[in-house]
Amino acid sequence: MPPIRVPFCRPDYGQRERLAFEDAIAGGRLEGGGPQTQACEELLQTGTGAERVLITPSCTAALEMMALALELGSGHEVIVPAFTFVSTANAFALRGATPVFADIDPLTMNLDVEAARLAITPRTRAIMLVHYAGVGCEMEAFLALCAEHDLVLLEDAAQAVGARWNDKALGSFGAMGALSFHHTKNVTCGEGGALLVNTPDMIKPAEFIRDKGTDRADFLRGHVNKYEWRVLGSSYLLSELAAAVLLGQLQRIKELTSARMRIWREYDQHFGQINSLRTPHIPKAATHNAHIYGIRFANRALRDACDIYMRSKGVMTAPHYVPLHLTPAGKTFGRASGELPHTIDATQTLLRLPLYSTMSDDEMKLVIETLKDFLCENGLGGA
């Protein structure tokens, strides 16, 4: 392998994160639920408008909490896009519910409204949206669809911190939403996530679930004099150490997002008009967060060739998901609604370019020039 000249992602930890980390250590209590946790939750609550935010060890944990809070189980179905990360579906399969995979919109790669409608059966309990690349799904249409069929709307906003739809935060539309603060995300503490609770009657169950199924949070507030096992739950509290790093990152979210946006726009200026490529489609109502810049080729052979070429020059590009309905567990625990051609196409043709807030001009130029060289050598434009 040639040396890496431009990594795919690179977290941007600074002085704020270091100071908050030291504060947490000096505080002497690193279990979850302390001052760093509360500060993160307040910032996220203000930023998203959610009724209550609970930070968690991952977005996966937050998704599992949703399945527990809704008491989903055998005989229930949840509609999910087939073009997503495994956790979106796994959270429901863990409870014995069936993820039903539906196709995506070919332009945004988000769940397609009509495909979701066709996947509804008498067993459907919820529709789970994924805001791919931090670009919002068609929220008004999904809210109407869920109201029409009495379904719960859920949002996997793993990639969408800071992103909005019609100026409302993604993750704050459905009954619950989940954010990720994993290493690869715009705002990160290595591993971390958040559950956004948007319906007041879900707040208490969500708090119980996060704290091993107990009312320990009420005990710590002095509302009960002992805590006890109330519901099915698990260990979904984030350590104060990670919360401290997250707090520093959340305080810098504007700076982190605008630095990414500069790179995203530069890529779009160079590649947005090239006929041989499909580049990100941003609906008018969407304010995205520059999480991903993905280009799509005419076919898999070209995508794979480009990926190999870029990596051979030390530029770390990356395809994305595999079709979840075709994976061994997807076939065992879920079911596909129809053929899902747009999902197959996206998984075969998409290539993500390196994108991170600390990317230097030289690194950005290297990505652009290397990709242009590939396009020229293959008669795909880009001169």
Ligand X SMILES: Cc1ncc(COP(=O)(O)O)c(C=O)c1O
Binding site for ligand X (CB under 6 A): 58-60, 84-85, 87-88, 130, 156, 158-159, 180, 182, 193
Nearer to ligand X, 91 or 302 (CB): 91
Nearer to ligand X, 59 or 315 (CB): 59
Nearer to ligand X, 85 or 236 (CB): 85
CB of residue 257 vs ligand X: minimum separation in angstroms? 17
- Cα within 13 Å of Cα(232), Cβ side: 11
Task: Classify burial at 285, counting beta carbons within 10 Å of its beta carbon; exposed 0-12, middle 13-18, buried 19 or more.
Answer: middle
Q: What share of the chain is helix, strand, coil (3-state, %, to 5)?
A: 40, 15, 40
Question: Residues 316, 317, 320, 326: is their CA dihedral positive or negative?
Answer: negative
Task: Give CA separation, 125 vs 71, 231, 249, in Å.
Answer: 10, 20, 35
Nearer to ligand X, 55 or 368 (CB): 55
CB of residue 166 vs ligand X: minimum separation in angstroms? 21
CB of residue 101 vs ligand X: minimum separation in angstroms? 14
Whether 153 and 79 have beta carbons less than 8 Å apart is answered as no
CB of residue 292 vs ligand X: minimum separation in angstroms? 10
Decide: helix, strand or coil at residue 351: strand
Amino acid at 192: G
Instruction: Please state the φ and ψ torsions of residue 109, each to the nearest 5 degrees.
Output: 65, 20
Nearer to ligand X, 20 or 66 (CB): 66
CB of residue 156 vs ligand X: minimum separation in angstroms? 5
Nearer to ligand X, 90 or 214 (CB): 90
Whether 45 and 53 have beta carbons less than 8 Å apart is answered as yes
> Which has the closest alpha carbon to 81: 320, 382, 253, 255?
320
CB of residue 234 vs ligand X: minimum separation in angstroms? 14
Nearer to ligand X, 237 or 368 (CB): 237
CB of residue 117 vs ligand X: minimum separation in angstroms? 22
